[in-house]
Amino acid sequence: MTMAGDQKPVVCFGEMLLRLSPPIGVPLSRTGSLDLAVGGAEANVAIALSGLGRPSRMLTVLPDNALGRRAIASLGEAGVDTGYIRHARGRLGLYFFEPPSGPIGGRVTYDRANSAFANARGSDLDFTGALDGAGLLHLSGITPSLGPAGSDLALAAVAAAKIAGVPVCFDGNYRANLWVSWDSNPREILTRLVGDATILIGNHRDISLLLGKTFSGESPDRRREAAEAAFVAFPRLQVIASTARHVESATAQRLAGRVDSRDDHWQTHEVRIDPVVDRIGTGDAFAAGVVFRWLDGGNARAMAETGLALAAIKHGIIGDSLCVTRDELDAFDPTGADVSR
């Protein structure tokens, strides 16, 4: 196994948030207490990769206050490089997560407008320095959905990666409520970003949005059809990864992973997860698994199965992020093993 010091780091670029959650079974409107966790799609990927031994750097903008320092501490605890985080006036974005309870599904309420990150400009960030010697840039569709400034930031990051010769992993992470909050054209912006990506984390519905063509059905054949259409439309794209989720209830779900490359594809068997302790961040864990294996030269099967394993593990961990070691990943039993002694 290659030592971490010999590996090129992954640069994860995006907004960090604080997640505040009432106790299970207590509505946000009635709660008297809130648990705090640090979140953010790209930060979740950085933490997961660092735990597995792959160096990662976080590139973001945070306020220079106690909450910003708490966000940095969460990255430092996982071993993520925080040297390229910049500070600016403003606030740290928040979101409130009400966990599922009985027949009531989980609910998210955002409070992230006018955050330090959302108001940042490309000149506030050292893209060139952060990407120096990097093996991959990872970002998501959440950044461009924040508004014109967010779109400019995402496009600037991808342009800098292109100049530096660093491949891009783009996670669609489509958030309709964020896009409709401003006069946006998500198809145009996302098409530009995916056009420079090597890896796309997204399913046939994301591809439908990009291409303006419907790919109906959930069968493997239909997913392959969507992937092949995307490969034709985006010549730089080499890998498309996605999950297929079947929801039995808020706390019992089935999950499979899929990876398509230009000449190969693999779809895993479903893993049944019961109980689901925390679904938030499971897609980021999947993305981290795909990236981890891709960087090691893994094939479609290795990427899909590792992504699924990390996503399944994350369902059992409270909070946004997952930090497990390589040994814990290798020892994972998706059937639910007995106590390890």
The tens digit of pLDDT for each residue in 102-144 reads: 888 899 999 998 999 999 999 999 999 999 999 999 999 999 9
Close Cβ partners of 189 (under 8 Å, ≥ 6 residues apart): 144, 151, 154, 155
Q: What is the pLDDT of residue 334?
A: 72
Lowest average pLDDT, out of 69-78, 141-150, 219-228, goes to 219-228
Q: What is the pLDDT of residues 20-59, one digit of tens each?
A: 999 999 999 999 999 999 999 999 999 999 999 999 999 9
Q: How far is CA 236 from CA 222, 230, 261, 280, in A?
A: 22, 10, 12, 30
Q: Which CATH number fits domain 4-327: 3.40.50.300, 1.10.1060.10, 3.40.50.970, 3.40.1190.20?
A: 3.40.1190.20
Structure tokens at 129: 């320095």
**Rounded to the nearest 5°, which phi and psi values hold at 261?**
-115, 180
Q: What is the pLDDT of residue 92?
A: 97
Average pLDDT, the chain: 93
Q: What is the pLDDT of residue 3?
A: 36
* Mean pLDDT for the stretch of residues 262-273: 95
Q: What is the pLDDT of residue 336?
A: 56
Is the model's pLDDT at 1 over the cut of 50? no
Q: What is the pLDDT of residues 286-310, one digit of tens each?
A: 999 999 999 999 999 999 999 999 9
Quick check: pTM over 0.85?
yes
Q: What is the pLDDT of residue 120?
A: 95
